Protein backbone atom coordinates (compact mmCIF):
# COMPACT_ATOMS: atom_id res chain seq x y z
CA UNK A 1 0.00 0.00 0.00
CA UNK A 2 1.07 3.57 -0.44
CA UNK A 3 2.22 5.77 2.38
CA UNK A 4 1.23 9.46 2.61
CA UNK A 5 4.78 10.53 3.41
CA UNK A 6 5.77 9.23 0.00
CA UNK A 7 5.63 11.55 -2.94
CA UNK A 8 6.16 8.95 -5.63
CA UNK A 9 5.64 5.21 -5.28
CA UNK A 10 6.48 2.71 -7.95
CA UNK A 11 5.02 -0.75 -7.63
CA UNK A 12 6.20 -3.81 -9.50
CA UNK A 13 6.94 -1.82 -12.62
CA UNK A 14 7.99 -3.65 -15.76
CA UNK A 15 8.62 -2.35 -19.22
CA UNK A 16 9.45 -4.33 -22.32
CA UNK A 17 10.21 -3.05 -25.80
CA UNK A 18 9.17 -6.11 -27.80
CA UNK A 19 11.45 -8.89 -26.60
CA UNK A 20 13.77 -6.49 -24.77
CA UNK A 21 13.16 -6.15 -21.04
CA UNK A 22 14.29 -2.74 -19.83
CA UNK A 23 12.66 -2.64 -16.38
CA UNK A 24 11.56 -5.65 -14.40
CA UNK A 25 9.41 -5.73 -11.23
CA UNK A 26 10.87 -2.49 -9.99
CA UNK A 27 9.75 -1.06 -6.62
CA UNK A 28 10.76 2.38 -5.43
CA UNK A 29 9.40 4.83 -2.84
CA UNK A 30 10.48 8.43 -2.97
CA UNK A 31 9.73 10.49 0.12
CA UNK A 32 8.04 13.85 0.10
CA UNK A 33 10.69 16.54 -0.45
CA UNK A 34 13.40 14.02 -1.14
CA UNK A 35 16.18 14.51 -3.69
CA UNK A 36 16.52 11.08 -5.26
CA UNK A 37 19.22 10.40 -7.85
CA UNK A 38 18.94 7.54 -10.33
CA UNK A 39 22.53 6.62 -11.15
CA UNK A 40 23.79 4.09 -13.65
CA UNK A 41 25.76 3.61 -16.82
CA UNK A 42 24.40 4.26 -20.29
CA UNK A 43 21.51 2.02 -21.28
CA UNK A 44 20.65 0.77 -17.77
CA UNK A 45 17.10 2.14 -17.98
CA UNK A 46 17.27 5.46 -16.09
CA UNK A 47 15.48 7.55 -18.71
CA UNK A 48 12.96 4.78 -19.29
CA UNK A 49 12.04 4.80 -15.59
CA UNK A 50 11.84 8.60 -15.51
CA UNK A 51 9.70 8.65 -18.65
CA UNK A 52 7.32 6.14 -17.07
CA UNK A 53 6.96 8.41 -14.03
CA UNK A 54 6.39 11.38 -16.34
CA UNK A 55 3.79 9.50 -18.39
CA UNK A 56 5.78 9.69 -21.62
CA UNK A 57 6.11 5.89 -21.71
CA UNK A 58 3.46 3.32 -20.90
CA UNK A 59 4.68 0.57 -18.58
CA UNK A 60 3.98 -3.02 -19.56
CA UNK A 61 3.00 -3.83 -16.00
CA UNK A 62 2.85 -2.27 -12.55
CA UNK A 63 1.62 0.97 -11.02
CA UNK A 64 2.83 4.48 -10.32
CA UNK A 65 1.46 6.67 -7.54
CA UNK A 66 2.14 10.38 -7.19
CA UNK A 67 0.93 11.99 -3.97
CA UNK A 68 -1.03 8.84 -3.20
CA UNK A 69 -2.96 8.99 -6.46
CA UNK A 70 -2.67 6.20 -8.98
CA UNK A 71 -1.43 8.02 -12.08
CA UNK A 72 -0.43 4.97 -14.09
CA UNK A 73 -2.88 5.87 -16.85
CA UNK A 74 -2.97 9.66 -16.41
CA UNK A 75 -1.78 12.09 -19.08
CA UNK A 76 1.61 13.71 -18.37
CA UNK A 77 0.00 17.11 -17.86
CA UNK A 78 -2.29 15.75 -15.13
CA UNK A 79 0.45 14.18 -13.01
CA UNK A 80 1.73 17.24 -11.17
CA UNK A 81 5.22 16.83 -12.54
CA UNK A 82 7.67 19.12 -14.33
CA UNK A 83 10.40 17.63 -16.46
CA UNK A 84 13.77 19.01 -17.50
CA UNK A 85 15.61 17.24 -20.30
CA UNK A 86 19.23 17.03 -21.32
CA UNK A 87 18.47 18.85 -24.58
CA UNK A 88 16.89 22.11 -23.48
CA UNK A 89 14.15 21.91 -26.11
CA UNK A 90 13.43 25.64 -26.01
CA UNK A 91 11.37 27.29 -28.76
CA UNK A 92 14.05 29.11 -30.78
CA UNK A 93 11.73 31.78 -32.21
CA UNK A 94 10.42 32.81 -28.78
CA UNK A 95 12.04 35.01 -26.16
CA UNK A 96 12.95 33.53 -22.79
CA UNK A 97 9.82 35.10 -21.32
CA UNK A 98 7.59 33.54 -24.00
CA UNK A 99 9.33 30.20 -23.55
CA UNK A 100 8.41 30.36 -19.88
CA UNK A 101 4.84 31.57 -20.37
CA UNK A 102 3.80 29.49 -23.38
CA UNK A 103 2.62 26.38 -21.54
CA UNK A 104 0.74 28.41 -18.94
CA UNK A 105 -1.03 30.46 -21.62
CA UNK A 106 -2.08 27.30 -23.44
CA UNK A 107 -3.46 25.99 -20.14
CA UNK A 108 -5.56 29.19 -19.89
CA UNK A 109 -3.91 30.70 -16.82
CA UNK A 110 -4.75 34.38 -16.13
CA UNK A 111 -2.16 36.90 -17.34
CA UNK A 112 -1.25 38.39 -13.97
CA UNK A 113 -0.74 34.93 -12.45
CA UNK A 114 1.58 34.06 -15.35
CA UNK A 115 3.56 37.27 -14.82
CA UNK A 116 3.86 36.52 -11.11
CA UNK A 117 5.17 33.03 -11.70
CA UNK A 118 7.67 34.12 -14.32
CA UNK A 119 8.99 36.84 -12.03
CA UNK A 120 9.42 34.32 -9.23
CA UNK A 121 11.14 31.70 -11.39
CA UNK A 122 13.36 34.30 -13.05
CA UNK A 123 14.35 35.56 -9.61
CA UNK A 124 15.22 32.12 -8.29
CA UNK A 125 17.22 31.22 -11.40
CA UNK A 126 18.73 34.71 -11.82
CA UNK A 127 17.66 35.06 -15.42
CA UNK A 128 15.77 38.38 -15.11
CA UNK A 129 18.18 40.23 -17.45
CA UNK A 130 17.68 37.54 -20.11
CA UNK A 131 13.88 37.53 -20.36
CA UNK A 132 13.72 39.43 -23.66
CA UNK A 133 16.47 37.43 -25.38
CA UNK A 134 16.00 34.47 -27.68
CA UNK A 135 17.70 31.12 -26.92
CA UNK A 136 20.31 31.63 -29.68
CA UNK A 137 21.67 34.57 -27.67
CA UNK A 138 22.18 32.51 -24.49
CA UNK A 139 25.03 30.37 -23.23
CA UNK A 140 24.47 26.66 -22.59
CA UNK A 141 24.17 27.23 -18.86
CA UNK A 142 21.67 30.04 -19.36
CA UNK A 143 19.58 27.89 -21.69
CA UNK A 144 19.54 25.10 -19.16
CA UNK A 145 18.38 27.56 -16.51
CA UNK A 146 15.52 28.61 -18.78
CA UNK A 147 14.64 24.93 -19.27
CA UNK A 148 14.53 24.51 -15.48
CA UNK A 149 12.45 27.71 -15.32
CA UNK A 150 9.84 26.15 -17.56
CA UNK A 151 9.33 23.38 -15.04
CA UNK A 152 9.47 25.86 -12.16
CA UNK A 153 6.63 28.13 -13.38
CA UNK A 154 4.28 25.18 -13.43
CA UNK A 155 4.39 24.92 -9.65
CA UNK A 156 4.51 21.15 -9.61
CA UNK A 157 4.85 18.61 -6.80
CA UNK A 158 7.64 16.62 -8.39
CA UNK A 159 10.53 17.68 -10.57
CA UNK A 160 12.05 15.17 -12.95
CA UNK A 161 15.52 15.89 -14.34
CA UNK A 162 17.07 13.79 -17.08
CA UNK A 163 20.82 14.53 -17.20
CA UNK A 164 20.18 18.28 -17.25
CA UNK A 165 23.88 19.20 -17.02
CA UNK A 166 25.51 16.75 -19.40
CA UNK A 167 25.64 19.19 -22.34
CA UNK A 168 27.63 21.73 -20.34
CA UNK A 169 31.37 22.05 -19.89
CA UNK A 170 32.93 20.89 -16.62
CA UNK A 171 33.10 24.30 -14.93
CA UNK A 172 29.54 25.29 -15.79
CA UNK A 173 28.35 21.86 -14.74
CA UNK A 174 29.76 22.21 -11.25
CA UNK A 175 28.31 25.74 -10.96
CA UNK A 176 24.81 24.69 -12.01
CA UNK A 177 25.07 21.64 -9.76
CA UNK A 178 25.38 23.96 -6.78
CA UNK A 179 22.43 26.01 -8.08
CA UNK A 180 20.25 22.93 -8.40
CA UNK A 181 21.12 22.01 -4.82
CA UNK A 182 20.24 25.52 -3.68
CA UNK A 183 16.99 25.32 -5.67
CA UNK A 184 16.04 22.15 -3.84
CA UNK A 185 16.93 23.64 -0.48
CA UNK A 186 14.64 26.61 -1.07
CA UNK A 187 11.74 24.87 -2.86
CA UNK A 188 11.85 21.59 -0.91
CA UNK A 189 10.03 19.83 -3.75
CA UNK A 190 10.53 16.19 -4.48
CA UNK A 191 13.19 15.84 -7.13
CA UNK A 192 14.11 12.79 -9.17
CA UNK A 193 17.35 13.33 -10.98
CA UNK A 194 18.90 11.03 -13.55
CA UNK A 195 22.65 11.04 -14.13
CA UNK A 196 25.55 8.78 -14.97
CA UNK A 197 27.91 11.15 -13.14
CA UNK A 198 28.78 9.78 -9.71
CA UNK A 199 29.94 13.18 -8.43
CA UNK A 200 26.54 14.72 -9.24
CA UNK A 201 24.90 11.80 -7.49
CA UNK A 202 27.07 11.99 -4.37
CA UNK A 203 26.82 15.77 -4.04
CA UNK A 204 23.11 16.24 -4.78
CA UNK A 205 21.27 13.21 -3.49
CA UNK A 206 19.49 12.56 -0.22
CA UNK A 207 19.43 9.00 -1.51
CA UNK A 208 20.94 7.35 -4.57
CA UNK A 209 19.37 4.46 -6.45
CA UNK A 210 22.14 2.71 -8.38
CA UNK A 211 20.80 0.83 -11.40
CA UNK A 212 22.24 -1.91 -13.54
CA UNK A 213 20.33 -3.55 -16.39
CA UNK A 214 17.02 -2.13 -15.17
CA UNK A 215 17.47 -3.39 -11.59
CA UNK A 216 18.16 -1.18 -8.57
CA UNK A 217 21.33 -2.54 -6.96
CA UNK A 218 21.31 -0.36 -3.87
CA UNK A 219 19.14 2.46 -2.55
CA UNK A 220 20.82 4.39 0.24
CA UNK A 221 22.22 7.73 1.29
CA UNK A 222 25.47 8.67 -0.49
CA UNK A 223 27.75 7.97 2.49
CA UNK A 224 26.35 4.48 3.00
CA UNK A 225 26.65 3.74 -0.71
CA UNK A 226 30.25 4.96 -0.64
CA UNK A 227 31.37 3.24 2.55
CA UNK A 228 29.22 0.12 2.62
CA UNK A 229 28.46 -0.86 -0.97
CA UNK A 230 26.14 -3.85 -1.06
CA UNK A 231 27.92 -5.56 -3.93
CA UNK A 232 31.06 -5.30 -6.03
CA UNK A 233 29.26 -3.53 -8.87
CA UNK A 234 28.19 -0.64 -6.61
CA UNK A 235 31.64 -0.56 -5.00
CA UNK A 236 33.35 -0.22 -8.37
CA UNK A 237 30.85 2.23 -9.85
CA UNK A 238 31.24 4.82 -7.10
CA UNK A 239 34.59 6.43 -6.34
CA UNK A 240 37.35 7.83 -8.50
CA UNK A 241 39.86 6.30 -8.83
CA UNK A 242 37.97 3.12 -8.30
CA UNK A 243 38.14 1.01 -5.15
CA UNK A 244 41.11 -1.41 -5.14
CA UNK A 245 39.97 -5.02 -5.53
CA UNK A 246 42.21 -7.90 -4.45
CA UNK A 247 41.23 -11.50 -5.15
CA UNK A 248 42.11 -14.03 -2.48
CA UNK A 249 40.71 -16.22 0.25
CA UNK A 250 39.92 -16.15 3.92
CA UNK A 251 42.11 -18.04 6.38
CA UNK A 252 42.90 -18.29 10.07
CA UNK A 253 46.42 -17.80 11.41
CA UNK A 254 47.18 -18.08 15.12
CA UNK A 255 43.47 -17.84 15.89
CA UNK A 256 43.12 -14.61 13.89
CA UNK A 257 41.14 -14.07 10.70
CA UNK A 258 43.20 -13.04 7.72
CA UNK A 259 42.82 -12.41 4.01
CA UNK A 260 45.39 -14.25 1.88
CA UNK A 261 46.48 -13.18 -1.55
CA UNK A 262 49.53 -14.36 -3.51
CA UNK A 263 51.31 -15.56 -0.37
CA UNK A 264 50.64 -12.39 1.63
CA UNK A 265 48.37 -12.43 4.70
CA UNK A 266 46.47 -9.30 5.65
CA UNK A 267 44.87 -9.12 9.09
CA UNK A 268 41.10 -8.60 9.03
CA UNK A 269 41.03 -7.18 12.57
CA UNK A 270 38.38 -4.47 12.65
CA UNK A 271 36.24 -5.79 9.79
CA UNK A 272 32.54 -5.59 10.66
CA UNK A 273 31.18 -9.06 9.80
CA UNK A 274 33.51 -11.39 11.71
CA UNK A 275 30.92 -14.23 11.86
CA UNK A 276 30.86 -14.71 8.10
CA UNK A 277 34.63 -14.95 7.69
CA UNK A 278 34.81 -18.70 7.12
CA UNK A 279 38.34 -19.96 6.38
CA UNK A 280 38.72 -21.14 2.78
CA UNK A 281 36.01 -18.86 1.41
CA UNK A 282 37.04 -17.18 -1.85
CA UNK A 283 36.61 -13.44 -1.54
CA UNK A 284 37.47 -10.07 -3.01
CA UNK A 285 38.91 -7.48 -0.64
CA UNK A 286 37.92 -3.91 -1.54
CA UNK A 287 39.85 -0.91 -0.23
CA UNK A 288 39.39 2.71 -1.26
CA UNK A 289 42.59 4.66 -2.07
CA UNK A 290 42.09 6.96 0.94
CA UNK A 291 41.65 4.08 3.39
CA UNK A 292 45.18 2.81 2.94
CA UNK A 293 47.76 4.52 5.15
CA UNK A 294 51.41 4.95 4.26
CA UNK A 295 54.60 5.15 6.31
CA UNK A 296 54.20 7.53 9.29
CA UNK A 297 50.37 7.36 9.04
CA UNK A 298 50.21 3.60 9.52
CA UNK A 299 48.32 2.97 12.74
CA UNK A 300 47.50 -0.71 12.25
CA UNK A 301 49.66 -3.31 14.00
CA UNK A 302 50.54 -4.90 10.70
CA UNK A 303 52.37 -3.11 7.89
CA UNK A 304 53.12 -4.39 4.39
CA UNK A 305 55.95 -3.31 2.16
CA UNK A 306 55.11 -2.08 -1.35
CA UNK A 307 57.01 -0.41 -4.17
CA UNK A 308 55.97 2.86 -5.84
CA UNK A 309 55.15 2.22 -9.48
CA UNK A 310 53.73 5.56 -10.58
CA UNK A 311 52.87 8.87 -8.97
CA UNK A 312 50.02 11.11 -10.09
CA UNK A 313 50.13 14.49 -8.33
CA UNK A 314 46.68 16.12 -8.50
CA UNK A 315 47.21 19.31 -6.56
CA UNK A 316 45.32 18.85 -3.32
CA UNK A 317 45.91 15.10 -3.43
CA UNK A 318 48.68 12.88 -4.60
CA UNK A 319 47.79 9.49 -5.99
CA UNK A 320 50.46 6.83 -5.80
CA UNK A 321 50.19 3.46 -7.52
CA UNK A 322 52.05 0.69 -5.69
CA UNK A 323 52.99 -2.90 -6.33
CA UNK A 324 52.10 -5.34 -3.59
CA UNK A 325 52.08 -9.14 -3.98
CA UNK A 326 51.46 -8.91 -7.71
CA UNK A 327 48.66 -6.37 -7.35
CA UNK A 328 48.67 -2.71 -8.31
CA UNK A 329 47.09 -0.62 -5.58
CA UNK A 330 46.20 3.07 -5.66
CA UNK A 331 46.65 5.12 -2.50
CA UNK A 332 45.53 8.70 -1.94
CA UNK A 333 47.83 10.86 0.16
CA UNK A 334 48.21 14.60 0.77
CA UNK A 335 49.35 16.66 -2.23
CA UNK A 336 52.51 17.81 -0.44
CA UNK A 337 53.82 14.28 0.12
CA UNK A 338 55.86 13.09 -2.80
CA UNK A 339 57.39 9.70 -3.58
CA UNK A 340 60.00 8.58 -6.08
CA UNK A 341 59.23 5.74 -8.43
CA UNK A 342 60.79 2.56 -7.02
CA UNK A 343 60.69 3.80 -3.42
CA UNK A 344 59.72 1.35 -0.67
CA UNK A 345 56.58 2.27 1.25
CA UNK A 346 54.98 0.73 4.32
CA UNK A 347 51.24 0.22 3.97
CA UNK A 348 48.57 -0.17 6.64
CA UNK A 349 45.04 -1.29 5.72
CA UNK A 350 42.13 0.18 7.66
CA UNK A 351 39.79 -2.83 7.91
CA UNK A 352 37.03 -0.80 9.58
CA UNK A 353 36.60 0.88 6.18
CA UNK A 354 37.18 -2.21 4.03
CA UNK A 355 34.62 -4.18 2.02
CA UNK A 356 34.69 -7.94 1.50
CA UNK A 357 32.71 -9.53 -1.31
CA UNK A 358 32.01 -13.18 -2.00
CA UNK A 359 34.06 -14.07 -5.08
CA UNK A 360 31.15 -15.99 -6.59
CA UNK A 361 28.07 -13.87 -5.88
CA UNK A 362 29.97 -10.56 -5.56
CA UNK A 363 27.64 -9.70 -2.65
CA UNK A 364 29.02 -7.94 0.41
CA UNK A 365 30.02 -10.18 3.30
Ligand X SMILES: Nc1ncnc2c1ncn2[C@@H]1O[C@H](COP(=O)(O)OP(=O)(O)OP(=O)(O)O)[C@@H](O)[C@H]1O
- Per-position DSSP letters for 68-124, written without gaps between them: TEE-TTS-GGGTTEEEE-SS----TTS-HHHHHHHHHHHTT--HHHHHHHHHHHHHH
Rounded Cα gap, residues 242 and 191, in angstroms: 28
Smallest gap from residue 24 Cβ to ligand X (A): 12
Q: Which stretch binds ligand X (CB under 6 A): 39-47, 174-182, 324-332, 343-351?
A: 39-47
Cβ proximity to Mg ion, 47 vs 189, nearer residue: 47
Contact in structure between 97 and 118 (CB atoms under 8 Å)? yes
Contact in structure between 99 and 150 (CB atoms under 8 Å)? yes
Q: Which H or E run includes 144? A: helix 140-152
Q: Which one of ligand X, Mg ion, none is in contact with 184 (Cβ closer than 5 to 8 A by kind)?
A: none
Q: Which one of Mg ion, ligand X, none is in contact with 99 (Cβ closer than 5 to 8 A by kind)?
A: none
> What strands lie across the sheet with 20-31, from one edge to the other?
20-31, 6-17, 61-66, 69-70
Residues within window 43-82 making contact with Mg ion, judged by CB under 5 A: 47
Q: Which stretch binds ligand X (CB under 6 A): 42-50, 148-156, 243-251, 286-294?
A: 42-50
47 binds ligand X (CB under 6 A): yes
Give the residue, chosen from 11, 34, 36, 40, that forms a contact with ligand X under the rule CB under 6 A: 40
Smallest gap from residue 162 Cβ to ligand X (A): 7
Q: Which one of Mg ion, ligand X, none is in contact with 43 (Cβ closer than 5 to 8 A by kind)?
A: ligand X
Name the 3-class secondary structure at 52.
helix
Q: Which one of Mg ion, ligand X, none is in contact with 11 (Cβ closer than 5 to 8 A by kind)?
A: none
Rounded Cα gap, residues 281 and 167, in angstroms: 46
Cα angle: 193, vertex 194, 198; to 5 degrees: 100
Smallest gap from residue 46 Cβ to Mg ion (A): 5
Residues within window 163-202 making contact with ligand X, judged by CB under 6 A: 196
Contact in structure between 347 and 244 (CB atoms under 8 Å)? no
101 binds Mg ion (CB under 5 A): no
Give the residue, chosen from 7, 26, 46, 146, that forms a contact with ligand X under the rule CB under 6 A: 46
**Cβ neighbour number for residue 1 with a 10 Å cutoff:** 6
Binding mask 5-34 for ligand X (x = CB under 6 A): ------------x--x-x------------
Cβ proximity to Mg ion, 168 vs 266, nearer residue: 168
Provide the binding-site residues for ligand X, judged by CB under 6 A: 17, 20, 22, 40, 42-48, 196
Amino acid sequence: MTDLSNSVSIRDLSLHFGAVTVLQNLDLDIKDGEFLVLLGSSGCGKSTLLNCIAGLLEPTDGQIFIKDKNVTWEEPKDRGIGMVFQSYALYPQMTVEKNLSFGLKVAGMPKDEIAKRIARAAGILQIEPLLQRKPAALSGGQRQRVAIGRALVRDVDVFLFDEPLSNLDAKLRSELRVEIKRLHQSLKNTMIYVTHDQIEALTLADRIAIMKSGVIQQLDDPITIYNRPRNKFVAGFIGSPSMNFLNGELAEEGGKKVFRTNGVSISLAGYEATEALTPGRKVVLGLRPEHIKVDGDVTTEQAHEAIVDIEEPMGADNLIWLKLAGHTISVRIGGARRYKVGAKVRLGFDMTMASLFDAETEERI
